[in-house]
């Protein structure tokens, strides 16, 4: 590729990158503007830098501040991520390394659940959780994660496990390792990129989840950040949009930080999983 063509490619990619980054830049800019300036100026550079939106927005509305909402989000997200990765790993190990009657049918049935939209499952799940008295708790997020209900992660890990040589299992078995010892000592240490990819996906999805939290949680004291932001729009007075933008910036910072921290392993996990079968 010639130097001029490389330069043109770089310029076009930079332009596309700026287009995709513009909403984030506008969000960050709006968080430092006054409430009136947000709707009166298209400039990304605030006329007057105002940090009051962060301090006032952090206090929240009423007796619940965003410190409590962020704490609730962590309490909701971290266990769900850990349980999802653990349960998906065990199930994927079974599909990838063991032979049992109906294996192909069960695997196909599991993959078919990927085609079911969440709206179809919403009412049955709500009725089930209501009968179990799990509403207004985090159990609707913990227990399904413990039972490996996310077929996408199971499939991701199955593909990765299938790419690891079975000779490793046989050598460990000769050395006296059982099935779970092989998983814990051999396969899991070699599956870091795939596990981190699954954890990253689940973290971002759970952190940003609004709909399920809205359905299953009805106490303000247990609201995650997504519902806390929505509550800021429900007050009877005028909406302080700069405060909403400021808290939105803080809400996306953990996802961005986690993604860029694990970016290397994420790309490696996705690329190697796609090549192995």
- What residue spans define the domains of the chain? 61-275
Phi, psi of 51 (to 5 degrees): -95, 0
Report the pLDDT value the prediction gives residue 270, as an integer from 0 to 100: 55
Give strand pairing partners of 64: 61
What average pLDDT does the segment 120-137 reach?
A: 94
Tell whether domain 61-275 is in CATH 1.10.3720.10.
yes
The percent of residues above 70 in pLDDT, for the chain, comes to: 94
**Range scoring the smallest mean pLDDT among 2-11, 105-114, 151-160:** 2-11
Contact status, residue 190 vs residue 256, Cβ threshold 8 Å: no
Cα dihedral 227→123→156→193 (10° resolution): 20
Give strand pairing partners of 61: 64
pLDDT above 60 (res 272):
no
Contact status, residue 112 vs residue 174, Cβ threshold 8 Å: no
Single pTM value for the model: 0.87
Alpha helices in the chain (DSSP H): 3-30, 35-40, 52-59, 66-97, 103-112, 118-131, 139-146, 151-162, 166-174, 179-182, 188-190, 192-207, 211-216, 225-231, 241-261, 263-275
Instruction: Measure the CA angle with vertex 82, ends 77 and 86; round to 5°.
Output: 150
């Amino acid at each position: 590729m010639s130097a001029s063509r490389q330069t043109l490619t770089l310029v076009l990619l930079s332009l596309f990158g700026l287009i995709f980054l513009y909403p984030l830049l506008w969000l960050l800019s709006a968080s430092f503007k006054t409430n009136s300036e947000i709707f009166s100026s298209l400039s990304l550079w605030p006329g007057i830098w105002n940090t009051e939106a962060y301090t006032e927005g952090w206090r929240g509305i009423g007796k619940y501040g965003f410190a409590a909402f962020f704490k609730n989000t962590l309490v909701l997200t971290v266990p769900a991520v850990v349980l999802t990765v653990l349960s998906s790993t065990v199930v994927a190990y079974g599909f990838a390394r063991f032979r049992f009657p109906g294996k192909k049918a069960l695997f196909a049935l599991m993959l078919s659940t990927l085609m079911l939209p969440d709206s179809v499952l919403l009412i049955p799940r709500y009725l089930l959780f209501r009968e179990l008295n799990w509403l207004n708790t985090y159990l609707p997020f913990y227990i399904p994660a413990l039972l490996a209900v996310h077929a996408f992660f199971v499939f991701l890990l199955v593909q990765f496990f299938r790419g690891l040589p079975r000779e490793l299992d046989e050598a460990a078995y000769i050395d006296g390792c059982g099935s779970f010892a092989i998983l814990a000592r051999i396969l899991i240490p070699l599956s870091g990129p795939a596990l981190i990819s699954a954890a990253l996906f689940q973290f971002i999805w759970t952190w940003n989840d609004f709909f399920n939290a809205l359905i299953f949680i009805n106490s303000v004291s247990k609201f995650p950040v997504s519902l806390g932001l929505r509550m800021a729009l429900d007050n009877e007075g005028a909406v302080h949009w700069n405060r909403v933008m400021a808290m939105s910036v803080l809400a996306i910072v953990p996802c961005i930080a986690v993604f860029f921290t694990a970016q290397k392993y994420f790309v490696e996990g996705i690329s190697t999983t796609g090549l192995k079968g």
